[in-house]
Structure formats: C-alpha cells, structure tokens
Structure 1
Amino acid sequence: MKKTGPLKNEEIRSSTVRLIGPEGSQFGIVSKEEALRKAKEYGLDLVLVSPNSRPPVCKIMDFGRYMYEQSKKQKKNKVSGSVLKQMKFRPKIDEHDYQTKLSHVKRFLQSGNKVRITIMFRGREMAFTDKGKEILDRIAKDLQDIAEVDSPPVLEGRDMRMGLRPKKVSAKEEDKK
C-alpha cells in the first residue's frame, strides 16, 4: 500500500534532518530523535517538506492543517475547462418559456460555459426558418452584455444552431465591480 503525501514523524527514514521551527526559525541540522522531541514539545508533527535535499528538510507543523491547505491549493490550481451546454428552442415558443430558457442560458454563461442554442423545426415549420433566425438574433441581442456569438446561426438539416461564449471581462471592468 503506497502512502500519498509527505512523510511525518516516525515515517521519516533519515537519521539527520535540517529542522525548521513552526514560526519558520532555523534549528539547523539535528538528529531525527532530537527533531521528534522538539515537535512533541510544541505539540505538533514533524513533516518532511523537502526529501530530495541533503540533509532532508523537515518542518514542525500541524500535519492536518498542512494537508488541508495543500488540497485547497490543488483545487484552486485545477482549471475547469469550459463545458458546452445546450439549450433547445422551438420556432413557436411562448414568451414565458423564452424568458425561462434565456435565464438558464444566462446562468450557464455566467458560470463560464459555452452554450449552443438550437432551434428545432418539425414538419411544415421548415418553411419558416426565418422565424428561427429571428429567435437566435433576439437571443444574441438579449445576451450581448454577457456573451458574444461564437458561431453564427447555421441551418443543419432540421436544426438551426448558434454558439455563444462568455464575454471576457477586462481588468478595468473587474475593478469597477
């Protein structure tokens, strides 16, 4: 069973270590037993922070807090790629349905996702593709403050599609908020 994370206390194999105190003070090179004794005096753990240096560097700290902060750093560094969300409309959409779907699209864009808007045509509705284009133009106009058109409206078979992506906020605009 392989252990993940840094070694602590008795798990450290080196006989001598470079010891750093809890406030960052240097104790110098001491034996492992001396370092463990000092850690116990403080009521904290001895954690191996730099295993590849000679001698290895150990620090007296709260191991649980250290692991928690490391996991927070990893989550912060993990960049979530934008996900493509999709919202489907019909050419004969009612105003309330339009507003509801538009609010969902706004939420997707504000969370940093791209959105593909699809107008689905059935049967004789194919004769009124201009109505679908009007709906897509209205969506683009209603969302122009938070989104920009990624791909213009295109008719593909019985569907008309348009892509939206969140607008990039400049640093000056961000300071105003």
Structure 2
Amino acid sequence: MTKPDMSPDTEPANGPALTHLDSQGQAQMVDVSTKATNVRQATATGSIAMRAATLAAIQSGNAPKGDVIGTARLAGIMAAKQTSMLIPLCHPLPLKKIEVNIEPDSDLPGYRIDATVKTKSETGVEMEALTAVSVAALTLYDMAKALEKSMCIGDIHLVEKIGGKSGHWQKQPSP
C-alpha cells in the first residue's frame, strides 16, 4: 500500500493534508516557530448524565467522597495544564486563563461541563479545553461512582475558538 504525498504544499483529493504527519507518513510535532504569537481562546463542553437521585445527592453534599463538583472543577483546571503530557504531539503552552464551570441540568438529569482556556502563543488551546472537560467529567464520575456506576459521559465537543490563522470559529446549532 502506498502512502499519499503529505507534504505541506499538497492537499490530497479528500481534503487538506494532515499537519502532524511528515512526507513519509510519520507522526511529527508541528513546527510553530514561524507562527505569530497572539491571543487564542477555546471553549469546549460536555455532559454527564445520571439518575435524578444521584444528582440530588451530589447537590445536597451527600456524596461519600465529599465535594464532588469542587474536586471535578479543580481536576479540569489541572488537566488543561497537563494536556501536552497527555496528548501526543500537543505543544506545551503558557496558559493564561482556565475556567471550568459545572452546572446541574435537571433535564439530563446530570451536569453540563464547560471549559474556556486562553493563552498568548503560536498555537491554539482547543485540546486544553477539551481535556479540561473530559477530565472534569471523569473526576465527577469517580467522585460519585459509589452512588451510581451507570452514569454516562458524553457530547464532549469544541464550541468556539478565537485567534490564529483560521480566526474565529463557532459551532453552529443543530437544525
């Protein structure tokens, strides 16, 4: 099987070239040294669904492990700072702001998790925002699993990114 030409100036017939592959198809960290340093921000979201009784126990502070929401929020912040250690080929970035919000949603029932990450650097912070949401959700699960093991983490996605060569991008609502 031959590998497609993945040089930076070539776009395969099915779309743009993958920037994390060299011309031989080997994984590589993208060289961002010539990119402009500017403010970049990304927001991601996700959810964790659970039984109404589990949600009520967490909200009332009756979870066996203690402060579920505070611990999950802190874990999300810490995870954003460790993204380059967790995701291969991510650049370590000087993060300037990390905000993790965890709000109850009785319609799930469960929690909605949002993370916004900001930097002034040569590359974006989408992965840091997504990692913050993911680890906050996993920590929420861990802190509440004694109450319920069937909780479901889902719908983790990028909502918005600002800055960089591609400018401002925002997820469009589903029709």
- TM bin, normalised by shorter chain, reads under 0.3
Q: Which structure has more helix as a fraction of its residues?
A: 1
Q: Work out which structure has the larger RCO, using CA pairs closer than 8 Å and 6 or more positions apart in sequence.
A: 2
TM-score by length of 2: 0.24
Choose 1 or 2 for highest CA Rg.
1
